Amino acid sequence: MGKAEDTKARVERAALTLFVARSVAETTTREIAMAASIAEGTIYRYFPSKERLALDMFLRHHRALAEALDEAQRPHATLGPKIDAIVRCYCDWADRDWTLFAYHLLNQHSFLAQVPDDAPNPVNVVRDVIDQAMTAGEIPKHNADLAAASAIGVVLQAATYKVYGRFEGPLSPHVKFFADAAWAVLAVKTG
């Protein structure tokens, strides 16, 4: 890695950590610079603004996660294995870079409106998988968005609890529980 790239990466990592610990709005460029051991002005050699620094990191992770989830589910033919693969992929990503995952989780409200319509989207990946399973008669037909929300909630609320410190340790050991629980939600007959 060249020196410039290293500096850019250090700025991103420092910003990420602070953005999660406090929030984007409450983190100052001065703090980011101090945490990255550089001068404040150096940030602006790599990013046009604090907002764009925050947005770029969000969008990059958003797209990469969507692509990873889609690749994980694609090889499988039926809903059961697809759920397993998606849940495992989610948990792996959370455990591999928890700070980045938490940043993405906590800042959807701020940035979701700025995701390009045609960009890969983690939520759409799950929704489409569920939609297909409903069409194929694998699970009862409901509102697919609502069913997707509740199924995703099984995993994401656990991740949210981890952010709040209500729950500790990696998510991966609970993959089987999450996958079974998500399946159970989708198999519910009433609606």
Partner DNA sequence: ATTAAATAAGTGAGCAATCGCTTTTTTCAA
Partner DNA sequence: TTGAAAAAAGCGATTGCTCACTTATTTAAT
- CA-to-CA distance for 69 and 109, rounded, in angstroms? 21
User: Which does residue 119 bind out of a copy of itself, DNA, none, counting CB within 5 to 8 angstroms by kind?
Assistant: none
Q: For the chain, how far is it from start to end, CA to CA, in angstroms?
A: 54
User: Which does residue 7 bind out of DNA, a copy of itself, none, counting CB within 5 to 8 angstroms by kind?
Assistant: DNA
Nearer to DNA, 42 or 132 (CB): 42
User: Which does residue 132 bind out of DNA, a copy of itself, none, counting CB within 5 to 8 angstroms by kind?
Assistant: none
Kindly state the smallest distance separating residue 139's Cβ from DNA, in Å: 47
* Token code pair at residue 123: 């939520």
Binding mask 121-160 for DNA (x = CB under 7 A): ----------------------------------------
- CA-to-CA distance for 27 and 33, rounded, in angstroms? 11
Nearer to DNA, 28 or 99 (CB): 28
Nearer to DNA, 18 or 65 (CB): 18
- CA-to-CA distance for 65 and 96, rounded, in angstroms? 12
Nearer to a copy of itself, 8 or 102 (CB): 102
* Alpha-helical regions (H) of the chain: 3-21, 29-35, 43-46, 50-73, 79-96, 98-106, 108-111, 122-135, 144-163, 175-187
H/E run at residue 186? helix 175-187
**Size, binding site for DNA by CB under 7 A:** 21
Nearer to DNA, 48 or 81 (CB): 48
* Residue 3 binds to DNA (criterion: CB under 7 A): yes
Chain center to CA of 29: 25
88 close to 31: Cβ distance less than 8 angstroms: no
User: Which does residue 180 bind out of a copy of itself, DNA, none, counting CB within 5 to 8 angstroms by kind?
Assistant: a copy of itself
- Residues within window 27-56 making contact with DNA, judged by CB under 7 A: 27-30, 37-42, 44-45, 48-51
* Token code pair at residue 186: 């989708």
Summarize as ranges the residues that interact with DNA (CB under 7 A). 2-4, 6-7, 27-30, 37-42, 44-45, 48-51
